[in-house]
Amino acid sequence: MSEDSQATFIKKLVRFALSCEYARLPIRRDGIKEKVFGRHSGRNFKPVYEGAQKVLRERFGMMMEELPLKEKVSLRDRRAAAQRGQNTTKGSSSYILVSILRKDMRVPEIIAPSLAPTTKDEASYIGLYTFIITCISLCGGTLSNEKLLRNLRRLNAEENTPLDTTENLLAKMQRQGYVVKIKDSTGQDEAVNWMVGPRGKIEVGDHGVRGLVKEVYGETAPEDLKSRLAVSLGARQE
């Protein structure tokens, strides 16, 4: 591959990554092969990927980070994975863009909500999925549907939100990978639980949960809040 053609592929990958992130779609390896390489698919991926990462870091203050695989938590999923002999250490081959700006630069004045559809709607959506991810994370990583609705009821959002119906909004969060809805049947009963999705783990994660809780408490935060959060989050460290 010549330097000119490699530079062209790097530009195409950067544009593809930015367009995927704008729509909150994962940057899939298959999509890169199709949209970036086309008939040259499968050749020289590594130098193009590394070149695109360099451009994203230096010009946009971002980088591509691989998403974790979805957890196999239901009995059906675990059995299917066992039958296929699925390797749980294998990567997802899907990425999202994450900010690499310093913490002191990650403020609304620098990183404002997107203008699409409006800044207010985008900020509301970010707040809602961060709240839901926080509720799930503080309950040990799994939250029943009943408890989720109970928490949303406190916001007067168990049925509708300012953006859409709660049902539609949760479906959107599932599609975008913020949350995962787990249905598990035991006999005649069906348990419905929620877990944090791959995008939620990377984009919000424990650091986002801690940030939201500290913001809610503000100056009234108890002295042992940090240790309480450590216990609730399984003593995971940032």
Name the residue with tokens 């309480």.
228
Helix (H) or strand (E) holding 237: none
User: What phi, psi does 152 have (nearest 5°)?
Assistant: -70, -30
pTM: 0.85
User: What is residue 175's predicted lDDT score, i.e. its pLDDT?
Assistant: 95
pLDDT of 169-215, one tens digit each?
Answer: 999 999 999 999 998 877 677 899 999 999 999 999 999 999 999 99
Give 109's pLDDT tier (boundaries 50, 70, 90).
confident
Q: How far is CA 229 from CA 147, 208, 225, 233, in A?
A: 19, 12, 6, 6
Please say whether the beta carbons of 181 and 194 come within 8 A.
yes
Amino acid at 67: L
Per-chain mean pLDDT for the chain: 88
Classify the C-alpha dihedral 219-105-233-141 as positive or negative. Answer: positive
